[in-house]
Structure 1
Amino acid sequence: MGDGDHPNKAPPAASAMNLPPGTYIIRVPNDQIICHPPPPNPNIQKRRTFAAASHPRHARRCCTCLRCFSFLLFLLLSPLIAVGVVYFVCDPNLPKFTVDRLSVDGFAFNSTSPLTVNPEFHVTVRAENPNNIIGFSYSAKRSFVTVSLESNTLCRGSLPSFYHGPRNVTVFKTALSGYEIRLSEPFWKSLMGLQGRKSVPITVDFGVPVRAGLGGMKSWTFEMKARCGLTVDKLGVDSRITSKICRVHLVNFFFFPPS
């Protein structure tokens, strides 16, 4: 080291020797260099602030809607679930209605001309409840029974009110009457021919409001209908039923399978 050299003086950079004339190099100490990041974009910052502020409220709203939807779905499915449980546990079946006996009065078959008749039918009905724990309550109000022959209604009446307990068989009689029934000549001749062949087809229709009961619980009132297709040997007080087919179905109800 020469006498004129300063110990802290840095040697000139090699690249500075090749700079063109008039070029100046300014050196700044490293501890004095301060770097500032560029200012943020105001639009981006505003969107981020809005999203951060609104996200919790949006999440709460979604959770509330989901809970409300789940509650409404539960209310809608609860009756179906209850019906399904009762159906599989109780094994419900429709009651059975049949006509055991039939007595007829008011027809004068010795007449050969069309006439007006006042028929009376006394029908003995057998009702059977095959269920083990389900009972039925029948109401006479708005109930009906009709007897028809070849789509001609001859008389009508009603059913009595009664309770049909589980595994119970109830037999009752009902009286039906017709007033001033005018028979046409073709119908009267057809009826006399059926009477002579001892094969008179009769249709007996039932309709009754009923409520199903299980313990202390009862269903809403629905309508049960039954139809019995009978064949009797004659229309008289001692008529004998030679064949019968009876079917029962419910109106506006889905709890029981068809019978």
Structure 2
Amino acid sequence: MADRVYPSSKPTTTTTAAATATTPGATATTKPQLRQPYRPQPQYGNYHRRKSHRRNHCCCCCFWTILILLALGLLAAIAGAAFYVLYRPQRPQFSISSLRIAKLNLTTDSSSSTSHLNSLLNITLSSKNPNSHIVFFYDSFTLSVLSNSNSVQLANGSIPSFVSGKNNETNFRSVLTSSRDLDTESVTALRSDLKRKTGVPMKVQMDTKVKVKMGNLKSKKVGIRVTCQGIRGIAPKSKSPSVASVSDAKCEVDLRIKIWKWTF
């Protein structure tokens, strides 16, 4: 009886190895791969966020600054309105009562061809304080009488310092004189004014400093200029003085604020 051969129950596994064939005489060269340098990408999102934050911060600062300035302006307006209602401040008033011309001579020396001015004037003026709660403290006044058409100084003088109380009126008398040589231009202009039948147009300037007191408050000294125009005077032809016309004279008070070398 022939023997039978039975196949094994375990499967036969076949492994195939892949071999790489090389051609004789040929060399395999492998090029190294170059690595690209790292370049950081800009963070656009963070940059825009920072820029937007700065813009918002600036807008907020501008808003609060404007708001504070408006609030301060409103408070100043309220304080000014309350001050005006309480004190009713008014400027001091000045007027010229009379102006007498005792001498107003213009002589020319033939030998030296120079012209000399001699003048003597008497002025009476008044200062009035129309305020009920304000007192004015004046320094001494510097007075000048000038020809209104060409601003040639005809005479000068002064008034002593004084205090103008509430609703008070103070009268002064002062003597103004001049004795000086004039230049050719001033002589020509003054001679033309002296020939006028209506008289020489004149103006009076008064410069001083004043301090104001309101209740317990006192201000610093401020310069003022009082200018009175509308005066006409005729040079006397005899020893008796002539009376200038002051019926149309009007006086204005202006502040004289000095900043460094300039006066406004």
Whether TM-score is above 0.5 comes out as: yes
Q: Secondary structure at the match of 2:249?
A: strand
Pairwise CA distance, 1:168: 1.0
Aligned pairs for 1:27-176 within 5 A: 82-108=79-105, 115-140=115-140, 143-149=141-147, 150-176=150-176
Gaps of 5+ in 2: 1-63, 259-264
1:230 aligned partner: 230
Pairwise CA distance, 1:93: 0.4
Q: Deviations over 1:95-115 (max 9, x none)?
A: 111111112233237989973
> Which of residues 226, 236, 249 is equivalent to 1:244?
249
Give the aligned residue type for 1:155. A
1:189 aligned partner: 191
Q: Deviations over 1:163-198 (max 9, x none)?
A: 10111111101222223142645234313312xx13
Q: Deviations over 1:89-146 (max 9, x none)?
A: 1110001111111122332379899730221222211111111211111011xx3211
Q: Secondary structure at the match of 1:145?
A: strand
Whether 1:210 aligns to 2:210 is yes
Measured in 2, the distance between the counterparts of 1:176 and 1:119 equals 8
Pairwise CA distance, 1:73: 9.9
Give the aligned residue type for 1:238. S
1:27 aligned partner: none
Measured in 1, the distance between the counterparts of 2:174 and 2:74 equals 42
Q: Deviations over 1:197-250 (max 9, x none)?
A: 133210111111001112332111111211111332413423132521221122
Measured in 2, the distance between the counterparts of 1:126 and 1:115 equals 34
The answer to whether the 8 A contact 1:199-1:231 is kept is no
TM-score, normalised by the number of residues in structure 2: 0.58
The answer to whether the 8 A contact 1:95-1:130 is kept is yes
Pairwise CA distance, 1:79: 7.1
Q: Secondary structure at the match of 1:154?
A: strand
Question: Per residue, is there more strand in 1 or in 2?
Answer: 2
1:177 aligned partner: 177
Q: Secondary structure at the match of 1:241?
A: coil
Aligned residues: 182
Q: Secondary structure at the match of 1:108?
A: strand
Q: Secondary structure at the match of 2:143?
A: strand
Q: Which moved more, 1:147-156 or 1:232-241?
A: 232-241
Taking a change above 3 Å as real, the CA distance of residues 229 and 112 of structure 1, as seen in their structure-2 partners, is: farther
Give the aligned residue type for 1:191. D
The answer to whether the 8 A contact 2:194-2:200 is kept is no
Q: Secondary structure at the match of 2:179?
A: coil
The answer to whether the 8 A contact 1:106-1:118 is kept is yes
- Larger C-alpha radius of gyration, 1 or 2? 2
The answer to whether the 8 A contact 1:233-1:239 is kept is yes
Q: Secondary structure at the match of 1:180?
A: strand
Measured in 1, the distance between the counterparts of 2:254 and 2:105 equals 36
The answer to whether the 8 A contact 1:95-1:248 is kept is yes
TM-score, normalised by the number of residues in structure 1: 0.59
1:26 aligned partner: none
Pairwise CA distance, 1:148: 0.6
